[in-house]
Amino acid sequence: MKTLIIIPTYNEADNVGWICQGVLQAQPDVEILVADDNSPDGTGEIADKLAVDDPRIHVLHRQGKEGLGAAYRAGFAWGLDRGYDVLVEMDADGSHRPEDLGKLLDSARSGVPLTLGSRWVPGGSVVNWPKRREALSRGASLYARLMLNLGVKDATAGFRAFRRETLEAIDLDAVESQGYCFQIDMTRQTRLAGLEVAEVPVTFVERVHGQSKMSLDIVKEALTRVTVWGLQRMNPFAARR
């Protein structure tokens, strides 16, 4: 199956080269789309050079930093227009290990509409994460699972594989959330479409180079949106999206 790994970047000059190399070493039959948000550190130019040297690498240059959700939506549109069958979300900073890609791809290629690379199922783990960050992630996933009845343990997982039919069943233009919330929203939208969501264990590794994009605004957005969606689910007249 024609497979695209979408890697959004913003100031990932120290990471984009080795992560692309690692992906292609682990899965030589996939292709990569680097979706760069006009990084001032030259990430986009580095990606262009990689694409010249390897036809499996493509670069989508975006106008500026608009958030993770916007980058993925653009990447999905790019991939769907070009006939990819499986589209994978993957971080540029090495948090998602290329050696775990096979688990997601095996699941997606077997027919699972959405497969999450989960830190919180048996066999999953995190490496070098501060306890506070781990508690935040676990708490956010638990809150989303309870409020939205998602049925998954890692609702905020950013390492995930969609079949094209899943993305075609979702109104991507209506998905406005970003960051943590974008991942929760996409899981929610998949469930609302009546499609299966599976989890496979992965190891999440804290980045070594560059700055995390996590912020208080991202956390606030997730808390607010999940609360509103949850109230709507329990009582459609209690809140409006």
The domain that holds 176 is classified in CATH as 3.90.550.10
Domain span at residue 195 reads 3-234
- Residue 150 CA, distance from chain mean position: 17
Q: Would residue 181 count as lying in a domain?
A: yes
Report yes or no on 190 lying in a domain: yes
Cβ count near 236 (within 10 Å):
9
H/E stretch holding 161 reads: strand 160-163
Segment 96-115, tens digit of pLDDT: 999 999 999 999 999 999 99
pLDDT at 33 over 80: yes
Q: Which of 71-80, 119-128, 173-182, 208-217 has the highest mean pLDDT?
A: 71-80
pLDDT at 218: 65
DSSP 238: T
Q: What is the pairing mode between strands 114-118 and 160-163? A: antiparallel
Number of H helices, E strands in the chain: 8, 9
CA distances from 65 to 45, 68, 176 (A): 16, 9, 15
Entry pTM? 0.90
Residue 12 lies in a domain: yes
> Tokens at residue 216, please?
């208080």
Domain count, the chain: 1
Residues 6+ apart with CB under 8 A from 32: 4, 5, 6, 7, 20, 23, 24, 56, 57, 58
Looking at residues 167-193, what average pLDDT do you find? 90
Quick check: 239 pLDDT over 50?
A: no
Q: Does residue 39 lie in a domain region?
A: yes
pLDDT band at 130 (very low <50, low <70, confident <90, very high): confident
Give the pLDDT score at 21: 98
CA distance 228 to 222: 10
**133 within a domain of the structure (yes/no):** yes
Quick check: is 239 in a domain? no
> Does any domain span residue 240?
no
| 118 — pLDDT class (breaks 50, 70, 90) | very high
Give the model confidence (pLDDT) of 200-238 as tens digits.
999 999 866 555 555 567 677 777 887 888 888 887 665
